[in-house]
């Protein structure tokens, strides 16, 4: 049967908008490419750190960095995802949305950092055993990292993922160059200072560009997105995201608490390799969130299907390659890390490809505003990950801590797969009707 005359020959009913598909792949390519570049520089950073910083110090300061990034994430009030979700459709309210987000996050980060500093100053033994000046730097780092992370969400929400790629690549390079001299000058604290100090260069430059060039200047009025809609999204998205971040950032802290600084260093090097790979996969889901905002069922389904068909086989191949090459990769950090961390890395990456399914499901939940289900699947992650880590690390050391990540991924992938199957069946039923 021929198509109706009003339908263009290339536009099949139920097919996704080709512009959305192109933007999805363009955004995913920039964000994924950015992560790959940052991964390469990140590997170099931790290789150098492993060779110029004592393992005991690296383990402690690496755990502190995870706490800083956790607190910075919490201080963003869940607006990272809200910005990428609502900026593409906010219209004249875009500028106001960004300004209010920055103000609220800055105030909370200041309060959080001062509370950390005050608590450490009043204790006989500061948190993590850090000297007071390094505790103060760590507390200040919460504010710096909060704004640095938010500005990436603003750039992605403004559909400028290539700027995120450039910014993060330059930041990673500066961080790497600063590490060696700072590690020599500051045997204790050099890693923390090298990680955060370059942020102070990028925050004013990037945000000057954002407010002068990217955001609409007539942003005093409200656009199509209302404050209640954003608040509802955040209220459902933030608790689950916070639980997910707890599961990621507190694992090295639990390892430190149970096994000490040296074992934490062995675990942390493998964990950083894993986090870079996981971030690369999650950037694809972020692109799906942006391009799926406001799209119909057919477009969302097509975007998800194409993402899974193209990314999942690549993720499986990459994980298999890393399992085989785990020892040569870790030998770059030194023979001590290769000997102690090879099994840890293999166990960690064995189930990494399942994150593709989980991230696809989470993105669909955000696009469809299935926020209660999003809360459920993300809240499950924290008790499973932290509980399994505490039990398995205590029983089997760093290998047990790595195994807890696999247990968590399997549980989440089952839930995500069930959700996607149910959503696709519902879409098919509506299309048939």
> 33-85, pLDDT tens digit by residue?
565 666 677 778 889 999 999 999 999 999 999 999 999 999 998 888 888 88
Task: Pick the more confident residue, 423 or 303.
Answer: 423
pLDDT of residue 121: 80
Report the pLDDT value the prediction gives residue 315, as an integer from 0 to 100.
83
pLDDT at 111 over 70: yes
Comparing 214 with 256, the larger pLDDT belongs to: 256
Band of the pLDDT at 162, cuts 50, 70, 90? confident
Tokens representing residue 252 in the block: 């090295």
Give the helix ranges, DSSP H, for 293-370: 297-324, 326-331, 335-349, 354-367
Q: What's the 3-state SS for 64-116?
A: HHHHHHHHHHHHCCCHHHHHHHHHHHCHHHHHHHHHHHHHHHHHHHHHHHHHH
**Is the model more confident about 304 or about 291?**
304
Q: How confident is the model at residue 224 (pLDDT cuts 50, 70, 90)?
A: low
Distance between CA 243 and CA 379 in Å, rounded? 5
Give percent above pLDDT 90 in the chain: 36
Instruction: Tell the residue number behind the tokens 């263009």, with chain if given.
Output: 8
In this prediction, residue 370 carries a pLDDT of 77
What is the pLDDT, as a whole number, of residue 31? 55
**Residue 115: CA atoms inside 13 Å, Cβ hemisphere, count?**
9
287 pLDDT more than 60? no
CB-based contact 105:82 (threshold 8 Å): no
- Within 10 A of 326 (CB to CB), how many other CB atoms are there? 22
Residue 20 has pLDDT above 60, yes or no: no
């Amino acid at each position: 049967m021929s198509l109706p005359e009003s339908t263009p020959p290339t536009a099949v009913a139920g097919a996704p908008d080709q512009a959305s598909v192109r933007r999805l792949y363009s955004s995913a390519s920039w964000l994924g490419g950015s992560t790959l570049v940052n991964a390469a520089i990140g590997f170099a950073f931790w290789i150098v750190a492993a060779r110029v910083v004592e393992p005991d110090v690296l383990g402690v300061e690496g755990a502190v960095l995870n706490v800083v990034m956790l607190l910075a994430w919490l201080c963003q009030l869940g607006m990272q995802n809200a910005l990428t979700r609502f900026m593409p459709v906010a219209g004249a309210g875009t500028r106001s949305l960004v300004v209010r987000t920055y103000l609220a996050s800055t105030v909370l980060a200041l309060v959080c950092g001062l509370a950390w500093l005050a608590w450490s100053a009043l204790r006989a033994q500061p948190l993590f055993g850090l000297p007071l000046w390094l505790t103060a730097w760590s507390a200040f780092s919460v504010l710096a990292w909060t704004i640095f992370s938010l500005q990436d969400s603003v750039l992605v929400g403004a559909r400028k993922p290539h700027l995120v790629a450039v910014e993060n690549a330059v930041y990673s390079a500066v961080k790497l160059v600063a590490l060696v001299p700072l590690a020599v000058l500051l045997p204790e604290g050099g890693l923390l200072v090298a990680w955060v100090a370059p942020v102070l260069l990028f925050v004013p430059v990037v945000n000057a560009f954002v407010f002068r060039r990217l955001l609409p200047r007539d942003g005093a009025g409200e656009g199509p997105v209302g404050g209640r809609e954003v608040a509802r999204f955040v209220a459902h998205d933030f608790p689950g995201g916070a639980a997910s971040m707890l599961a990621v950032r507190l694992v090295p802290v639990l390892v430190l608490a149970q096994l000490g600084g040296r074992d934490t260093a062995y675990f942390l090097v493998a964990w950083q390799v894993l986090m870079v790979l996981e971030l690369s996969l999650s950037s694809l889901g972020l692109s799906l969130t942006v391009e799926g905002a406001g799209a119909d069922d057919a477009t969302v389904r097509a975007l998800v299907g194409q993402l899974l068909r193209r990314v999942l086989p690549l993720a499986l191949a990459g994980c298999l390659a890393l399992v085989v090459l785990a020892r040569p990769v870790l030998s770059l950090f030194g023979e001590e890390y290769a000997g102690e961390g090879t099994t840890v890395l293999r166990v960690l990456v064995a189930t990494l490809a399942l994150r593709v399914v989980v991230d696809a499901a989470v993105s669909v939940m955000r696009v469809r505003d299935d926020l209660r289900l999003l809360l459920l699947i993300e809240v499950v992650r924290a008790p499973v990950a932290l509980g399994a880590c505490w039990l398995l690390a205590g029983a089997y050391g760093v290998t047990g801590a790595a195994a807890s990540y696999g247990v968590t991924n399997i549980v989440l992938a089952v839930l995500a797969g069930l959700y996607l199957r149910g959503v696709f069946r519902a879409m098919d039923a509506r299309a048939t009707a």
